[in-house]
Amino acid sequence: MPRVEAVELRRLRLPLRSPFRSAHGAHGDKDVLVVRVLGAGAEGWGECAALAQPTYTSEYTGGAQQVLREHLIPRLLRGAGEVAGGDIGGQEVAGVLAGVKGHPMAKAALEMAVLDAELRDCGVSLAERLGGTRTSVQAGVALGMASTVAEVVTAAEAFVAEGYRRVKLKIAPGWDVSPVTAVRAALGTAAAVQVDANGAYAGAGLEPLGELDRLGLALIEQPLAPRDLRGHAQLAGRLRTPLCLDESIEGVADAEVALDLGACSIVNIKPGRCGGLFEAVRVHDLCMDRRVPVWCGGMLETGIGRAANLALASLPGFSLPGDLSASDRYFDEDLTEPFVLQDGCLWVPTGPGLGVEPAPEALARFTTSVELIG
């Protein structure tokens, strides 16, 4: 168990290889917030999943940095001071931070860093600590909305040629039936195709979803607003294609209600959205009990967050390919050693903790500001 004495917050700007556009906004660069915990003989890294704008959920990078600086880190440092010897483990972090409402992505980043420090200290990999059973994970790729149908078809074919076996298309009213039909036809049996609406059909006509239902898609993700579980349940009853929820599921309590209502039959798990890796594991465990398949979502993470996602996705219930892509899907240069696609899969890191750490040169090149607290 590490003694956490200080926490560094580092903002970085990483250029994306191509802009990424979905119903919740467009990203040209990735605005990254990295958390590093420091103590006597302890160091651990975490990455905040929040995006630059509060358009996926209410969190955003700048707000996450502020709540970490002013509320979460002081509580962590105080909490560490109150436990015997000043040592705190990753599993204790959520409890220490529970007095602060909301801000799951900021909390998850701090938990990830403390857990990395703890596991590095005892030489255990994150996958092993969480109960992972796979050594590699099937990769998937998410494609943002494009300017033309031809553009998205070309991109989908190129990723399948690289070895990706699951393609997810971002959709919204006006960008749905045409591109998805074209990609489905172009890929044939070479890859599974699924769609993600990020809630964009809330208050809109649902006819396009009926047309998408005829295309044999693997799933339709989050068509309606996050809190509209009843609407999702009604829609699920009308569609043959499985409905999957993302933004609606902030933890195991949400997952339980959604499954009880029949609002989804597949769950996308993101540790940031759930407030941390341990809560993400609880969602996984519930879904395993209910025989509901899960997969790991992505937030355009650098190698730090990607390593944590891969460790999580090595658990047995992650039976569907996630939004887990190689580093070169997003970045010319990642913060860590790049994750590389091999036969359509990514290896789960096996080293202590996250099993990766940022390269000093990459940190120096992409950092825009650093602050030390404690």
The residues that are catalytic are: 170, 270
* Nearer to Mg ion (CB atom), residue 246 or residue 254: 246
**Options 51-59, 65-73, 193-201, 357-365: segment touching Mg ion (CB under 5 A):** 193-201
Q: Is 8 in the site for Mg ion (CB under 5 A)?
A: no
* Nearer to Mg ion (CB atom), residue 47 or residue 196: 196
* Nearer to Mg ion (CB atom), residue 10 or residue 166: 166
- The structure tokens 């560490």 sit at 80
Give the span between the Cα atoms of 232 and 239, in whole angstroms. Answer: 10
The phi, psi pair for 122, rounded to 5°, reads -105, 5
Q: Is 196 in the site for Mg ion (CB under 5 A)?
A: yes
Q: Is 323 in the site for Mg ion (CB under 5 A)?
A: no
32: helix, strand or coil: strand
CB 203 to Mg ion: min, Å: 19
Give the span between the Cα atoms of 168 and 79, in whole angstroms. Answer: 41
Which residue minimizes CB distance to Mg ion?
A: 246
Among 59, 246, 250, 334, the residue binding Mg ion under the rule CB under 5 A is 246
Residues, the chain: 374
267 DSSP β-pair partners: 245, 294
Query: Which DSSP letter does residue 214 get?
Result: G
CB 244 to Mg ion: min, Å: 8
Question: Considering CB under 5 A, how many residues would be counted as binding Mg ion?
Answer: 2
174: helix, strand or coil: coil
* Nearer to Mg ion (CB atom), residue 172 or residue 356: 172
Give the span between the Cα atoms of 311 and 351, in whole angstroms. Answer: 11
Interface mask (CB under 5 A) for Mg ion, residues 331-350, using x and -? --------------------
For 269-307, the DSSP string reads E-TTTTTSHHHHHHHHHHHHHTT--EEE---S--HHHHH
CB 268 to Mg ion: min, Å: 6
* Nearer to Mg ion (CB atom), residue 31 or residue 246: 246
- Give the binding site for Mg ion (CB under 5 A): 196, 246
